[in-house]
Chains A and B, each alone.
Chain A
Amino acid sequence: MSSKFKVSHLYLWLVFIILYAPILYLAYYSFNSGETMHGFEGFTWHWYREVFADTRLLIILMNTIVIALFSSVISTILGVIGAIAIHRLRKLQNQNALLSLNNVLIVSPDVIIGASFLILFTMLGIKLGFASVLISHIAFSVPIVVIMVLPKLKEMSPTLLDAARDLGATEWDVLGKVVLPFIKSGIFAGFFMALTYSLDDFAVTFFVTGNGFTTLSVEIYSRARQGVSLSINALSTLIFLFTLALVVGYYMISRRGQNNSAGRKGRAVDWKVPNE
């Protein structure tokens, strides 16, 4: 029994090593005083200083994060509304039809979405820049949020809503005090998925950037033609730490949320753990 336990642990470790090794390798070389990733010559903060001295790169980084935050907030709101709307449809057939339309957007290639947006924006005479990037990021994130939220809604027992209504809750109360708290984890998951999608999207953004507004993925890609300098390693390490901090923050929040709700028995929030 105990040996089996160890093997599974070993496997888990192996997977994690494979997942994290490239990132650690990249982070390791961000401290290299040499010019390339072929051999470590000595420790230096040079590349980090270079990142912070490069105002243009910093502005691009900030733009990237701003776009990611705004687009994921807006698409989370839209996605939750969309998921609730799909869930409320009476006919299963209609639900499936809408869901398939939603899935088509997820599986269609980024390049196609990007090119379509480029054509749409130029047809409407919208200048390429902040707005065009934001709109397209929202557009490709909404279907993802819908997909993350919908299962949570399906999980929710209809009797819960009936009970709330029987106790005199208005539709708004039902939504704010029963439905949203119940699907909270789905909403957070959708938000973070949208955030990562937006942060790393290249293909769509590539088409719709313009007029001096650009994001990190597009910038790094066009720099790669000249060979990527180690300051990109430094930048990537910083972003990795930033996302790590976000995830840890999310973990803390959800832990605290669970503890809180566990302490307040009898509320609708506790539906998930009724036997505790």
Chain B
Amino acid sequence: MNQLLRMLLLVVILGFALMYGASALNSSEGFSGANTLTIYNWGDYIDPDLISEFEKESGIKVIYQTFDSNEAMMTKIEQGGTTFDISVPSEYAISKMKEENLLLPIDKSKLPNLKYINPRFMNLSFDPNNEYSIPYFWGTVGIVYNSEMLGGRTFKSWNDLWDPSLRNQILLVDGAREVIGFGLNSLHYSLNDTNEDHLQEAKAKLNKLTPNVKAIVGDEIKMLLANEEAAVGVVWSGDASEIMDANDKLDYVVPEEGSNLWFDNMVIPKTAKNVEGAHKFINFMLDPKHAAQNAEYVGYATPNAKALEYLPEDISGDKRFYPAPELTSKLEVYKNLGKKMLAHYNELFLEFKMHRK
């Protein structure tokens, strides 16, 4: 009995000591609890130095929390019980959150730095006039390939994927919009096409690709490509830069027919408590120097036109991640096609997955 009590006491004391330690560590940064800003972002998606700089500059204490998927983040915000002041969803999630009234409108008069954003990334279909969202990072969908494994072969067009020599060499991401999208693109159709004939044509073309497809996989595609399990992969540019970091034999290309353009934008969820601070933070991140520092840390492409000047030439000049204007004009953002059309896309993708070689 005594031993049990001693143990109990020990654990409780240890618990309180740690609790005290954590709160001491928290307050050692010199902020009171009153003025805080809670940010809900993707894991490792901001340079931590920028957060401390923002805290110093504004006197606001930042609480930083992370999520791993748009769906998880939306569920948390929808359910309430949280006070996130800023979040960074992708474009399709933004239009969904707008529909469900989960966002607060952004007061652009408080964002003097908004002028630095390249107009090309503003006023897009998922959020006309940027009423609710401000661009954070952007990227593309393209082809990652290992030319060493393919005897020096390179890629330029989606149609290169159909080459018979690539039998059993291609990995695809498991996304209906991505795969049907490049099927449409390879036929020079828009990847938001809803014309039934075009869709059937794209599916028939994709069916012919099956002998070349080794597997349709999720996030493990990065590891598989880096470990040279396959020579070619269709991936997002963010994943591509990671794969290439892990294995420098790989290269990335955005096919010339065009491709998907994706965005992660900053929004203010309706649960926000510190709307003023949220605007301050967005403006802080729009500052070209800060945007450049962040882009260098995270490795994705910044939509901030002025920030490019502060980036090292080997980053801002990298045509793979900052494509030339002729190509960017061919890139398309996914439109919200509506539930019915989306279900149709999913069905076509499923049929493609089941197609026999």
Contact = CB atoms under 8 A, between A and B. Distances in A.
A211 B75 CA distance: 14
A64 B28 CA distance: 20
Interface in A32-73: 35-36, 38, 54-56, 58-59, 62-63, 65-66, 69-70, 72-73
Interface in A213-266: 214, 218-219, 221-227, 229, 253, 257
Nearest to B223: A227
Contacts of A152: none
Contact of A184 (B3, B26, B28, B48): B3
A212 B37 CA distance: 10
Interface string A92-121: 000000000000000000000000001101
A242 B8 CA distance: 19
A189 interface: no
A60 B242 CA distance: 26
B12 A222 contact: no
A177 interface: yes
Interface stretch (A19-27, A122-130, A140-148): A122-130
B246 interface: yes
Interface stretch (B39-47, B89-97, B340-348): B39-47
B79 interface: yes
B18 A65 contact: yes
Interface string B1-31: 1011001100110110011011001101100
Grouping DSSP codes into helix (H, G, I), strand (E, B) and loop, the A interface class, with mixed when no group exceeds half, is helix
Contact of B83 (A122, A211, A257): A211
Interface stretch (B66-74, B249-257, B282-290, B309-317): B66-74
A226 B300 CA distance: 11
Contacts of B82: 127-128, 210-211
Contacts of A35: 245
Interface in B262-313: none
A62 B22 CA distance: 6
A65 B22 CA distance: 11
Contacts of B219: 225
A136 to B, nearest CB: 13
A69 B15 contact: yes
B3 A223 contact: no
A151 interface: no
B68 A222 contact: yes
B18 A211 contact: no
A60 B163 CA distance: 50
Contacts of B26: 59
B222 interface: yes
B64 A221 contact: no
B20 to A, nearest CB: 9
B325 interface: no
A56 B26 CA distance: 8
21 contacts: A56-B48, A56-B64, A59-B22, A65-B15, A66-B22, A69-B14, A69-B18, A119-B79, A122-B81, A128-B76, A181-B1, A184-B3, A184-B4, A210-B81, A212-B65, A221-B43, A224-B68, A225-B42, A225-B43, A225-B68, A257-B3
Interface of A: 35-36, 38, 54-56, 58-59, 62-63, 65-66, 69-70, 72-73, 118-119, 121-122, 125-128, 132, 176-177, 180-181, 184, 187-188, 191, 206, 209-212, 214, 218-219, 221-227, 229, 253, 257
